Structure 1
Amino acid sequence: MFGRSPFFAASCIFSLFLCNGVAANTEIINFISDLQRSVELPQVGNWATLNSSHNERRWAIQPAPLGTPLREVCEADKEITPTSPSTCPHELWVRLNLDDTIWRSYRAFTLRLSWAASTPADFLIELYSPEAVSTFFAGQHQRQITLAENAPSFRERPPFLITRTKYARIRIVDTGVPTPQIQLGRPNPRLSDQVVEPNVHFILILEPLYWGVLPASQLPTVCFLIPVLLAAAMAVPRVLAYLDPFVLQAREDMVSLDKEQ
């Protein structure tokens, strides 16, 4: 046991820092921010935006009923207007503004969604370019989309404008265990055809990645842990050298006991 590399022992000590109680579930998607053509989308005026100055926000949306396939959530026919881009209560559209001057030098980003571990739900995050969003809603248009009069077309765009903006589509489904529902004022709980699930609260964070792998918010933690790990690597050999005589003595005592018996 004590003949192993001191770096192995140091890594075991380092792992103790990670043994915290689980308080939240997390869904992460890393992506590259390539330049692409900008598209005028009249319906995004009411969509929330994450950027360098406001990269974190909280939401609460209603999950789709238990048993709904995640990729089929909010895929049924629906009506969309410029003032109400989505009438489905189980999804959220967010604009990711990556064109800010502060983020201009970063190419890789991460979008992190966290919700309470006690909440039984699954999330699906999908990213769209402006043209992909235009194509998506053009498909919805074929399924009876209604736009205001004189609203600009999805295909209208200044050909000279480029952007790194992306759009995130977030969908949620309930994954809990069904329990009997008792509703006050109803003589028979079975009269309720569908139980409305409570909203799920979650946090969405957008941030750049250092070297394409390290989230910006984790850099201070890593800078703190590096010297701690180095100090542990230097201290472990001395601790092992101090304990070796006691271990050898314990082995000799065990051998003597076996012989006496």
Structure 2
Amino acid sequence: MLWPVVEMVRTSFLRISTSGFVRGWAGFDKYTKLFDQADFLPVLGWTVLWTSTVVTLTIVGSLALAQLFNQQFPGRRLTRWALIAPWAASVLMTSIGFKWMLDRTAGVLNTAMVDLGLIDAPKDWLGDPATAKPWMVLIAVFVSLPFTTYTLLAGLQTVPGEVYEAAKVDGTTPWQTYRLITLPLLRPALMVSLVINLINVFNSFPVIWGTTQGGPDSATATTTVFAFQLMNTDIGESAAMSVVNFGLVVVMVVAFLKVSRWNEEN
């Protein structure tokens, strides 16, 4: 677990050729070069927006789905199994599938929208960052929903039914019951879901690489994809980006747990 991290940090201080030969010590030159990159701040800003948007939509959607699947209704078992499909499939495969559905010439979305008269001509949905980014968010939420929903559903099923019966006797409304009883008792499962989603989405690679490869240029790249792009020109700078990325994840999770008072028992 520790050795790849040590090696990553060590590599960020080396001058390495694109063929992999070490040319000597570089000091902090690779970090200076990284921070001077014109794409660094835009990529960092998009990564923050990407992570916060995907995690928020995933949690909200999963709370609704978990609440739905916790109820008794015809076909509940079938719908629960259907939700597993995006989780069971490879994320990269799912991303490539969406890429083909959004293809300008052969994509089913353009074909259907043109046939229905919703658009006049096929659009390059993934070629323009303005349209590619919302689609990437949608794909990331799609593949994140199953795990989060099942985690929250497991939490919901641990809430004793007697608590709801007592609340009903006290005359609480459904919203008061959800806000004052369900959410507080769901807190452990919710915290686990939030932390894991923060790490996974921040470090997400398959969704972006499978759809746009971070392009055009680095317009849709997150810090993880940007580090991979830099590897083609400077391995040391790529390692420096990975170190920065690692540090950001650690700081983000620690800050989140501190703000959330992870260890506090109410």
The TM-score range, normalised by the shorter chain, is: under 0.3
TM normalised by structure 1 equals 0.28
More helix by share: 2
- Between structure 1 and structure 2, the one with the greater Rg is 1
More strand by share: 1
TM normalised by structure 2 equals 0.27
